[in-house]
Amino acid sequence: MMDKRVLIIGGGPAGIEAAYSLALQGVKLVLIEEKADVCGHIQNWDKLFPDFQDAEQIRQTLYRKLDHPNIEVITNTEIKNLYPKGKSWFAKKDADKIFEADAALLATGFEVFDAKRKEELGYGIYDNVITSVDFEKMYKSGKILTSEGKVPERIAFLNCVGSRDEKVGNHYCSRVCCINAVKQAIEFKELVPDSKAYCFYMDMRMAGQFYEELYRKSQEEYGVTYIRGRISEAAVTMDNRIQIKAEDTLSALPMKMTLDLLVLMVGIESSAGTTLLSEQNDVLGLYGFAKPLGLYSEDNMTSKPGLFLAGTCKRPLTLPETLADARSAAIDIVKYLKTTT
Ligand SMILES: Cc1cc2nc3c(=O)[nH]c(=O)nc-3n(C[C@H](O)[C@H](O)[C@H](O)COP(=O)(O)OP(=O)(O)OC[C@H]3O[C@@H](n4cnc5c(N)ncnc54)[C@H](O)[C@@H]3O)c2cc1C
Ligand code: SF4
C-alpha cells in the first residue's frame, strides 16, 4: 500500500473519517477542502441530536484524526474538474493546481436548502423568520432572541422546508430535520421554560435509535405541542410579530397563529461540488446527488473504476451514518488498490 496514493475531495466528516481509515492501513492520501477549514457542516452545529453531544468535541476528534504522516491536507482549494486518465485519477483546481492519485473519493457533501425559495414563508423578508441553521448560531451564542432583542414567548418550528415538496422539485425526505426540530424545541424550552413551542409537521419521522424517546420526552417533560399541518403563509403584524396561516389536518380546521419567532427546518440538497464532479464522471443520480454502483455491497463504488463515494454526496445522512459510510468506503478503496498494479 505504501506506493499507492488516494485523492479525497471534501474535508467534511466523511472525507476526514475515510482519510483516517485509509492512513491506518498504510495508504498515503491528499485531502482537499475548498473552505479555509475542514469539518464541513458540523462546524455550524452546537449540540447534536439525538444525545446532545457537544459538536465541538466531535470536531476536535476529527481534527486529531488528520494528524497522521500519511495524510496531507490542502484547504482553500475548490476542485472544479475530476477525471481519469490511464490508471490514474486527476483533480484540478485550475491549470496550475493538478493532483494525481491511484483512486479518488468524492466526499463533497451537501448544502442546506435556501429558504428564500419558499417566498410565502417570508425568510429574508421578515426578520423574525429564521432557519434551523440560524437557530443553531443563536443557540451557540447562548441567546435566542427576536430581532427586537426580546425573549420569544411563542415559537414555532416548521418541518419539511425544501423537502417532500413538489413545488421546489425535491420529493425526498431529508431525514435529519424532524429529529432536529425535536432537539431545537427542547433546547428552546430549556432556555425559556415559560414559553410556548409548537412544531408543524406532515408526519414525524423518528426512525433513528433514541429518536422516538426524545420525541416523547419533548412532549411529556417539555410540553412541546405538535400540530399536523403545513404552514401555507407567513405575514408580519404591526408589532413585527409573525402571523401564520395553517391547517390542522387532524381536526381539518384552518388556523391562524401569532408567533414571536418562526424557525424553518431546512432540508438537505446536493452541493454544487457534488453535482458538478458527478456530472463530469457520468455518476450523477437523482436530485443532483452522486450515484453509487448499487444499493447493497456497491454503495461506495461507482460505475467508474477507481472512483468512490462517501457521505452525504450520495443522499441525506446523519453524522453517525456518514462516519460509518466513510469507513466502509475506505475498505472498498483498499480492496481496489490491492487489485490494481
Ligand atoms: C440543519 C442540520 C443539522 C444537522 N444536525 C445533525 C446532528 O445534530 N446530528 C447528526 O448526526 N447529524 C446532523 N446533521 C447531518 C450532518 O451535518 C451530516 O451528516 C454531515 O455533515 C455530513 O458530512 P459530509 O462530509 O458528508 O458533508 P459536509 O459536512 O457537507 O462536508 C463536505 C465538505 O466538502 C467540501 N467540498 C464540497 N465541494 C468541494 C469541492 N469541489 N472541492 C473541495 N471541497 C469541497 C465542503 O466545503 C465541505 O467541507 C445535520 C444536518 C443539517 C442539515
Ligand atoms: S425528516 Fe421530517 S422534516 Fe425532514 S424532510 Fe423528512 S419528514 Fe420532513
Rounded to whole angstroms, the Cα distance separating 247 from 24 reads 54
Pairing of strands 88-92, 81-85: antiparallel
Task: Kindly state whether residues 171 and 256 are assigned to the same domain.
Answer: yes
Residue 3 cell numbers, joined: 506506493
Task: Kindly state whether residues 262 and 136 are assigned to the same domain.
Answer: yes
For residue 316, whether the previous peptide bond is cis, meaning omega lies within 30 degrees of 0, is: no
Q: Which residue has its alpha carbon closest to ligand 2 atom 2?
A: 178
Task: Kindly state whether residues 105 and 140 are assigned to the same domain.
Answer: no
Nearest-5° Cα angle at 323, 76 to 74: 15
**pLDDT tens per residue, range 284-334:** 999 999 999 999 999 999 999 999 999 999 999 999 999 999 999 999 999
Task: Kindly state whether residues 222 and 289 are assigned to the same domain.
Answer: no
Q: What is the pLDDT of residue 1?
A: 63
Task: Kindly state whether residues 97 and 132 are assigned to the same domain.
Answer: no
Query: What is the residue range of 17's domain?
Result: 5-109+271-339
> Which ligand 1 atom minimizes the distance to the CA of 133?
1
Q: What is the dihedral of CA 224, 230, 235, 240, to 10 degrees?
A: 10
Nearest ligand to the CA atom of 276: 1
With contact defined as beta carbons under 8 Å apart, do 259 and 270 qualify? Answer: no
Segment 30-53 shows an average pLDDT of 98
Local confidence band at 341 (pLDDT 50, 70, 90 cut-offs): low
| Total structural domains within the chain | 2
Rounded to whole angstroms, the Cα distance separating 262 from 234 reads 9
- Ligand 1 in contact with 13 (CB < 6 A)? yes
Task: Kindly state whether residues 222 and 87 are assigned to the same domain.
Answer: no
Residue that is last in its domain, among 240, 267, 294 = 267
Residue that is last in its domain, among 243, 267, 291 = 267
Task: Kindly state whether residues 42 and 128 are assigned to the same domain.
Answer: no
